[in-house]
Amino acid sequence: QKEVEQNSGPLSVPEGAIASLNCTYSDRGSQSFFWYRQYSGKSPELIMSIYSNGDKEDGRFTAQLNKASQYVSLLIRDSQPSDSATYLCAVNRFSGGYNKLIFGAGTRLAVHP
């Protein structure tokens, strides 16, 4: 079992719809969760962070965390073609005295006009 799992996609949604991206993780001790967006050929860009159970909203983005179910999701409202990218879920792992981020392989989102 991978430490951080994401559906690779592609997830195809029409412009204006809500895109829902999901991520599960295996380490119950994880405390911090991040969503990165990566355009093709570019580096990952941080878009959301969440640390407590529940929802966190930032503009068109909402991150949702459920630690009991070891599940984190990202909702993108009013999806635009410019949102087409790969979305990486990252979860902290504390081992050997250090915090590291473990990344999922990413979900590719395609927003079509």
Q: Is 104 in the site for other proteins (CB under 8 A)?
A: yes
Q: Looking at residues 57 to 96 of the shown chain, list those that interact with other proteins (rule: CB under 8 A).
A: 88, 90, 92, 94, 96
SS (H, E, C) the chain: CCCEECCCCCEEEECCCCEEEEEEECCCCCCCEEEEEECCCCCCEEEEEECCCEEEEECCEEEEEECCCCEEEEEECCCCHHHCEEEEEEEEEEECCEEEEEECCCEEEEEEC
* Binding flags for other proteins, 14-53, as an x/- string (CB under 8 A): -----------------xx-x-------xxxxx--x-x--
Q: Is 98 in the site for other proteins (CB under 8 A)?
A: yes
Q: Is 100 in the site for other proteins (CB under 8 A)?
A: yes
Which of 12, 66, 80, 99 is close enough to bind other proteins by CB under 8 A? Answer: 99
